[in-house]
Amino acid sequence: MHTLKAYEEVVDFIASGTSPDTVAAFKPSNAVRERVRDLLYFEKTKGLTLEETSELDHYMQLEHLMRLAKARARKYASGKQIH
């Protein structure tokens, strides 16, 4: 499954140690971004297989997780309290 690379990137990023600034600056690799673009294009033009739909769902879950982490990191970086 192609999403394994995306998961590996996020896990490696977390395992290498993070700071609010590095979390806020995180971007997936070009290969992952291209794959997501391809899947979104296929979804709109020809439809996706069940496997591709599952793959896109996983990418979207990772994207959501990283958006939440980035929002939280920005709060930490600005010195705001997190509850």
Q: What tens digit of pLDDT does each residue of 10-59 get?
A: 989 888 888 999 999 999 999 999 999 999 999 999 999 999 999 999 99
Any domain includes 12: yes
Question: How far from 34 is each of 2, 3, 21, 28, CA to CA, in Å?
Answer: 11, 12, 25, 10
Q: Which domain holds residue 26?
A: 3-78
- The pair of three-digit structure tokens given for residue 2, joined into one six-digit string: 């192609």
Q: Is 33 domain-assigned?
A: yes
Instruction: With respect to residue 37, please indicate whether it lies within any of the assigned structural domains.
Output: yes
Q: What is the pTM of this model?
A: 0.81
Burial string for 4-26 (b: 16+ CB within 10 Å, else e) reads eebeebbeebeeeeeebeebbee
Secondary structure of residue 21 in the 3-state scheme: helix
Assigned domain for 32 exists: yes
Q: What total of structural domains would you count in the chain?
A: 1
